[in-house]
Amino acid sequence: MPPARARQPQARIALDTPITYLKGVGPARAEAFRRLGILTAGDLLYHAPHRYEDASTVAPISSLEPGMHATIIGRVVSKGVLPTRKGLRIFQAVVRDHSGLIEAAWPGQPYLDRTIEKGDVLLLSGQVRFFHGRQLLPREMVNLGDEDEGTAQGRVLSVYPATEGLSFKVIRTLLDAHLDTLLAQVKETLPADVLAPARVPPLPEALRMVHRPTSLAEAMSGRARLAYEELLFVQILQRRANALARSMRQGIVFENKRVLTSRLRKSLPWELTHAQTRSLREIVGDMTSPRRMHRLLQGDVGSGKTIVALFAALLAMENGWQAAIMAPTELLAEQHLRTMGRLLAPLGVEPVLLTGSLSAAERKAALAKIGSSEPLLVVGTHALVQESAVFGKLGFVAIDEQHRFGVEQRKALQAKGETPDTLLMTATPIPRSLALTMYGDLDVSVLDERPPGRQPVTTALRPESARQRIMQFVEREVEKGRQAYIVYPLVEESEKVDLKAATVEYESLASGPFANRRLALLHGRIPPEERDETMRAFRDGKTDILVATTVIEVGIDVPNATVMVIEHPERFGLSQLHQLRGRVGRGAEQSYCILLGDVGEEARARLDVFVGTEDGFEIARADLQLRGMGDLFGARQSGEQTFRIADPLRDEALNETARGVAERLLASDPELERAEHAPLRAALQGRYARALELFRVG
């Protein structure tokens, strides 16, 4: 080979090199990388492992004893699915290492038979028990494919988020091949005084620690640096957004006249909770200030958000303005109308309803009232934001279950008035530290108490063997004149998952244990009008038992419903279970929530948290710690997830540090114009398109 050709250098891989140009990445893999949000070599560098396995602690299979918690690496020599007499299906695999064999079992996970092949090398961690001999119950599993058993031993194994057609091993191999070249191009983005408070390593070293850790402690240190930067960036953006919004939010200055509000308070048949009083004080403070209110009111199921919104609406009305409350469904809007109508009757105030199903005459009358300048309260659905709904003098807007509406719908309602004060409400409890991060551009009020007089809901987890007794209990409650929900995770049966489905079980229940009862079926594939009609029939007592999916999660108030049976509870998040449980316990009678099904040890530990408390904030915290952020941060900026590595809940202390640093940074340099802040500003600009408008750069 000619010397000149031998000396010809290869094209240098840079941070902005498209992922397609990396050796080993063809069109199919490039598409798989795109699904993971990896378009360049730099994106690959920031694709951090989502977990680590410490292979240095791997034990020989021959050394395992019942009662131990152990990590092993072994090759699958046989596998299969074993059905039990109770109907539970167990996936079992026999694995071998140089010292011997052991059986591993996954109860209730037969689908693993399709993903684990004979000959695969598995890294397994879990409890060893005696069951016809030694048996391992894995809590963690990494499928190393056909990789040699010895390759992972003696080091920390990085496990990367992967996707179909792209295994974590391929990602690890690519990173390993290019890591040194890419790290040499990484520059620190944070000034020393910004980095120091977090006590984390510089960026290049942190990335090395994340991808090539020598210990789990080192991996966590590197991860903390990346998490801190994400948390800091979000804190900076949220604070900058809030500061700009406050400066531009010139609103209506209401006067706290205490006319309608005092009359309502005196006529209430109960006392407001301390949390309601505190939240009202915060809301009144906003509404009587020169700036426009933009506040989130979050509270647990049954914490009394509606009455707080009603007081705020009356404050606007006694100042001569109109108020609007928007609900996500017609049923919820009708429920609000009835509830508020009863409370406002002693005051001589009659709310106006505006929904899509009103008759032409009713709609015309409602629009005429709304178009006048008279102070009134309007309750409705998305019909409130349609062009035909023209408000004469809108001064206050409350949006119930705000996450059910798109940003554009919320903006459209706010635009119906010149500068209406806005109250967003959600019944999804979020720990305060997380709420302040998620909603940094909002002020946050929290209802963390339940009104007095509400009986706690008796909650229990029962095995499949108790099914007949549970159905007999439901029958006894219905016999007393009560009503019940039976909830399933699926609409129809699927070959992919071994679960009961609502449509099939509805037929079985209607022809079996509840043949003499009035049953109805409700799920998301039923047209909205039919769904509403089904719920109205249940509300009005025309149906005894409602068989449903989670479509009832945000439902209506049915005080006569006293039993909630949830099938396959392990398939639901804790917060979702809590929302479902909130459908019962709304009347004077004792209510029950029964989780029915055989579950594994890990699922049982999780469900025990739910059974043990009715505190939605405690449940939300446990849920987030167990399953991660999930879709709570579904809003994306410039195609990026808000958080790729950080978890504001798990990283609470780091988040507090980031909040303090962001406040000090923006206090001294509001637009990050100083030369020493240029790398930080550039990093913000590169990651978040929102930085362009907030800092006027680019």
DSSP characters over 57-68: G---GGG--TT-
Query: What is the pLDDT at residue 461?
Result: 95
pTM of the model: 0.63
Q: Which residues in the chain are classed under CATH 2.40.50.140?
A: 53-159
Query: What is the pLDDT at residue 495?
Result: 44
Amino acid at 401: E
Low-confidence ranges of the chain (pLDDT < 70): 1-11, 55-56, 86, 145-155, 245-249, 402-410, 429-441, 451-453, 491-500, 553-555, 624-642, 689-698
- Spatial distance between the Cα atoms of 76 and 122, rounded to a whole number of angstroms: 7
- Spatial distance between the Cα atoms of 622 and 585, rounded to a whole number of angstroms: 23
Q: Which residues in the chain are classed under CATH 3.40.50.300?
A: 260-447, 458-613
Secondary element (H or E) of residue 367: helix 360-371
- The string of pLDDT tens digits covering residues 174-230 is 888 899 999 999 999 999 999 999 999 999 999 999 999 988 899 999 999 999 999
Query: What is the pLDDT at residue 639?
Result: 36
Query: What is the pLDDT at residue 9?
Result: 40
Query: What is the pLDDT at residue 525?
Result: 82
Class of domain 53-159: mainly beta
Alpha-carbon distances of 676 from 191, 203, 230, 258, rounded to whole Å: 7, 16, 19, 53
3 state SS of 676: helix
Q: Which residue has the tokens 């362009």?
A: 692
Of the candidates 85, 80, 88, 57, which has an alpha carbon nearest to the alpha carbon of residue 70?
57
Q: Which two tokens stand for residue 87?
A: 């109907």
Query: What is the pLDDT at residue 12?
Result: 77
Looking at 3.40.50.300, 3.40.605.10, 3.40.50.10860, 3.40.980.10, the CATH number of the domain 458-613 comes to 3.40.50.300
Looking at 3.40.50.300, 3.40.50.10470, 3.30.1490.100, 3.40.630.40, the CATH number of the domain 260-447 comes to 3.40.50.300
Q: Are 403 and 428 in contact (CB under 8 A)?
A: yes
Q: Are 583 and 558 in contact (CB under 8 A)?
A: yes
Query: What is the pLDDT at residue 477?
Result: 96
Query: What is the pLDDT at residue 248?
Result: 64
- Spatial distance between the Cα atoms of 283 and 280, rounded to a whole number of angstroms: 5
Query: What is the pLDDT at residue 402?
Result: 63
HSE, CB side, 13 Å, CA atoms: give it for residue 201.
15
Alpha helices by DSSP H, listed for 249-356, are: 260-267, 274-287, 305-317, 330-344
